[in-house]
Amino acid sequence: MAESICRALRDGALEGELAPALTIKDSVASPFGVQVLDHVLSQFFSCILAGKSPSRGLIVVSFSRSPSFYFELLKIKGISVDSSDKRIHILDCYNDPLGWKDRLAETGNFRAPSHEASILRGGKIRFSIAIDSVDEMLRHASVSSVARLLSNLRSHDQISSIFWLLHSDLHTGRVTSVLEYLSSMVASLEPSIELANGQRGDMENFSLIEHNSKKGKFHVRFKKRNGRVRVMSEEVHIEQSGINFTSLSTEGAINHGLVPKVQFNLQLSEKERIDKANVVLPFEHQGNGKPIEIYDGRRSLVNSKHERPVAAVENVQTNEDSSWGEIIYYRDSDDEMPDSDEDPDDDLDI
Amino acid sequence: MATAKIRRSSFSRNLSTAAPSLGPGLMCGPNGTVFLSSGIPDLDKVLGGGFPLGSLVMVMEDAEAPHHMLLLRNFMAQGLVHGQPLLYASPARDPRGFLGTLPSPAVSKDDKSREPDPNQEKGLRIAWQYKKYFGENQLTFDGQRDGKREYSNEFDLRKPLERHLINGQRIDCVSIQDFSDLSTLQDRCATFLSQFPRNDGSISCAGRIAIQSFCSPQCAYSNMEWEILSFIRSLKSTVQSLNSVAIITFTPSLLSPSFCKRWQHMADTLLSVKAIQDEDKELALLLTGYQDMVGFLNVHKVARINTQVPVILEATTFSIKLQKRRYLVLECLNQAPVDGSSGTSYGTSGSCSSSSKTGNLDF
């Protein structure tokens, strides 16, 4: 599934469409966003190098890590590039985001947009952009200006795809929704076991935290062209060498809320099944060879076991379980043979 | 006969001699309202005729799917076909580009007749959910077919609207992305709407306003929530007193919940569209025709003008389908019996409890 993301990014945009945009979203409970970003970045870049993508180069806007980190990363993944390679360009917003060195800083205005604009002015070459961390951008600029930048990038002819990382805990819900609104794919990382709120420091949960620090769930929502949303899930494992995606071990029920609430209960719980088996039905033959004696209020049975006063007529059957369910049965007439096969409606004259 | 009658008492009905003459694309409705078509015949049927003049329609978008654009396209194309002037505002840099995607009216009626399901066996057929077989027999109003243009057209989404309709019209396009406040937009709307004064008698022309993705985050004004609200209020009151209909689409997840509720409250007609999850086996089992569905449309509120009687719809959730990938149709959902005790208010689900997000049934 990480491959499908890379494929979507690689294929870029069709004519007249906005460039595909990916949001990688993580949280404190499953903080693997950077690993996922590194994975996607290196995979995507190797696609670019192999010429499989209409995009000829990658611009990495690095806010939270220094540019040299990315060269190291690519080297580790087996892709060796040097800084003069035309196919990758790292916009260094890590070292001096507000441009103090150049004294260009106005409040809230920072270098990344102007840098990107200048690169893009050059010709017909198509690029992709990776933004290290949108959180840093949002520190320095308002949501609407970041949103405008991202949507302008998406609609620019030269951009073939764009992806960014977001730590959802650092922002209000609205900011996360804005970024999800602007993207065509949302990849979110969730812990494989949910921790109860407010129990972080508890020793019992320590093993859970430890478990969550190595594994997690990876959900992706793709907004497809036909207006449908495709949801995929995988498990993610972090190892020394990198990150591994495996398909979900149990088919997690993603849509719990879908089974409609019906007014009748289609499934019985275990207790209900036992209770049901214990109820004695008011038929005179239970199918087990013995006739059942049913008290019918007229004391017409010979072997009446119930010698209660007439007033207390409620308890006509003894059920083995002491549940409150009762079946009250009054026989129509004594002359009737037990369990006769006659249809009582036969004497209707229709 | 004289048109001015002497009223004997303040309670006598003021009958005019003839129904007011209406321009193309307008239809008289109950309670003295005049309707114009939404561009989707199925939606007109559900709403009881169309959008009444003077109403504000709001469409709640789903961030994951562009179905509100389908509704807008049909709405705008219907207006242009009838020669009704249009004001279109959108956060795109070049809103005129969107006009190129407007559909053209479908050519012949025989193409698009709803074919019965080819998989039906001959012989005994049990009509579970029989209502869907009633079909077009129940159309009670179907526009005037006496040579004048029809009230509402079926649009072919694959065929673009003829250029002369786009070029020759009074179409005003506004890009709202760079507006730092809404006064410019307000002035543009006011100027546009002043063309449609309301007076007793004939209505020659009605205007349509379409504002797309009004609270889009790219727009500079998008965090000025109270200003946006007062703009909507003034638009609503202007539209109410003039012969026009305004439609605003917005994404509820981008607004704070209290403002979202306020926006919804302002609407006369409130619709919402929802994305549908792909390859969802449970949904495929629950709903018939799942494969053809593109999304869901929910009708939360229907405009009622000049009356206190609300509309209670039989069904509020419809599936949006593209028949032959060309014609937009809305169908009632055919689904398993649901717990009818969940009430219908804007924020909760109507008769359909299916949702692509667990627990979040807010359409």
**Distance between B236 CA and the closest CA of chain A, angstroms:** 26
Q: How far is A11 from chain B (nearest CA, A)?
A: 20
Q: Which range scores top for mean pLDDT: A82-91, A328-337, B46-55?
A: B46-55
More confident residue, A83 or B203: B203
- Nearest by CB to A228, from B277, B339, B355: name it: B277
pLDDT at B76: 93
Q: Is the pLDDT of residue A84 over 90?
A: no
Contact criterion met (CB < 8 Å) for B353 and A227:
no
pTM: 0.74
Task: Tell me the nearest-neighbour CA distance from A187 into chain B, angstroms.
Answer: 13
Taking residues A144-172, what's their average pLDDT?
A: 88
pLDDT of residue A323: 57
Q: What is the pLDDT of residue A99?
A: 62
Does the pLDDT of residue B139 top 50, yes or no?
Answer: no
Collect all residues of chain B within an 8 Å Cβ-Cβ radius of residue A184: none
Binary contact (B283, A258; C-beta < 8 A): yes
Are the Cβ atoms of B64 and A223 closer than 8 angstroms? yes
**What is the nearest CA distance from B12 to chain A, expressed in angstroms?**
51
* DSSP E strand stretches across chain A: 21-26, 57-62, 88-92, 127-131, 159-167, 185-190, 215-223, 228-239, 242-247
The predicted structure's pLDDT at residue B13 = 64
According to DSSP, the residues that pair with B248 across neighbouring strands are B58, B211
* Nearest chain A residue to B285, by CA: A259
Give residue A13's pLDDT band: very low, low, confident or very high (50, 70, 90). confident
Tens digit of each residue's pLDDT (9 = 90 or more) over B186-230? 999 999 998 888 877 778 888 999 999 998 998 888 888 999 999
Give pLDDT, residue A348.
74
Residue B41 has pLDDT above 50, yes or no: yes
Write down the CATH superfamily of domain A2-258: P-loop containing nucleotide triphosphate hydrolases (3.40.50.300)
**CB-CB neighbours of A319 under 10 Å:** 15
Q: Which of A181, A182, A233, A263 to mutate to test the interface with B (most CBs of B within 10 A)?
A: A181
* Stretch B174-179: mean pLDDT: 87
The confidence score (pLDDT) of residue A87 equals 75
Report pLDDT for A121. 54
The reported pLDDT for the residue numbered A165 is: 92
Distance CA A302, CA B273 (A): 71
Interface size between A and B, measured as CB pairs under 8 A? 115
B56: its two tokens? 């504000």
CB < 8 Å to B250, chain A: none
Q: Which of A5, A120, A126, A131 is nearest to A60 (CA)?
A: A131
For residue A264, give every residue at least 6 positions away whose Cβ sits within 8 Å of its Cβ, in sequence order, or none: none
Check pLDDT > 80 for residue B235.
yes
Percent above pLDDT 70 for chain A? 61
Q: For residues B294-309, give the mean pLDDT.
A: 89
The amino acid at residue A117 is: A
Q: What is the pLDDT of residues A94-144, one digit of tens each?
A: 776 666 655 544 443 445 555 555 555 556 677 888 888 888 888 888 888
Q: What is the pLDDT of residue A52?
A: 80
- Is residue A257 within 8 A of residue B361, CB to CB? The reply is yes
- Chain B residues whose C-beta is within 8 A of a chain A C-beta are 63-67, 92-93, 177, 216-220, 222-223, 251, 253-256, 275-280, 282-283, 286, 294-295, 335-340, 342, 353-356, 358-359, 361
Nearest Cα to A169, choosing from A142, A141, A138? A138
> Which of A105-109, A316-320, A330-334, B143-147: highest mean pLDDT?
A330-334
Condensed to tens digits (0 to 9), the pLDDT of residues A214-271 reads 788 888 898 888 888 888 888 888 887 677 777 765 544 444 444 455 566 666 677 7
Average pLDDT (B290-319) is: 87
B346 and B301 Cβ atoms separated by less than 8 Å: yes
CA distance B103 to B69: 12
- In CATH terms, the superfamily for domain B26-106+150-332 is P-loop containing nucleotide triphosphate hydrolases (3.40.50.300)
Name residue A232's beta-bridge partners: A220
- Per-chain mean pLDDT for chain A: 72
Stretch B308-328: mean pLDDT, rounded?
86
A53 vs A101, more confident: A53
Nearest to B335 among A142, A255, A260 (CB): A260
Whether B354 and A258 lie within 8 Å, measured CB to CB: yes
**Band (A305; pLDDT cuts 50, 70, 90):** very low
Rounded Cα distance, A219 and B1, in Å: 73
Instruction: Classify A30 as helix, strand or coil.
Output: strand
Beta pairing, strands A228-239 & A242-247: antiparallel
Euclidean distance between CA atoms B281 and B155, whole angstroms: 31
Instruction: Give the least confident one: A190-194, A316-320, B1-5.
Output: A316-320
- List residues of A whose CB lies inside 8 A of any B CB: 142-144, 147-148, 151-152, 155, 174, 177-178, 180-182, 221, 223-224, 226-231, 254-263
The mean pLDDT value of chain B amounts to 79
Average pLDDT over residues A27-50: 85
Q: How far is A120 from chain B (nearest CA, A)?
A: 18
- The nearest CA of chain B is from the CA of A236 a distance in Å of 22
Q: How far A227 CA sits from the closest chain B CA (Å)?
A: 5
pLDDT tens, residue by residue, B258-275 = 999 999 999 999 999 998
CB-nearest partner of A229 from B65, B217, B340: B65
> What are the boundaries of each domain within chain A?
2-258, 292-350
Look at B93 and A229 and tell me if their CB atoms are within 8 Å: no
Chain B interface, best mutation among A194, A229, A251, A263, by max B CB count within 10 A:
A229
Contacts of A277 (CB under 8 A, 6+ apart): none
CB contact under 8 A, A224 and B177: no
Judge whether residue B90 has pLDDT over 80.
yes
What is the tens place of the pLDDT at every residue in A180-227?
999 999 999 888 776 655 555 556 667 776 776 778 888 889 888 888
pLDDT in tens, A278-302: 776 666 665 665 555 555 555 444 4
B145 vs B71, higher pLDDT: B71
pLDDT at B21: 76
Instruction: Give the percent of chain B with pLDDT over 90.
Output: 29
Q: Which residue of B has its CA nearest to A255?
A: B358
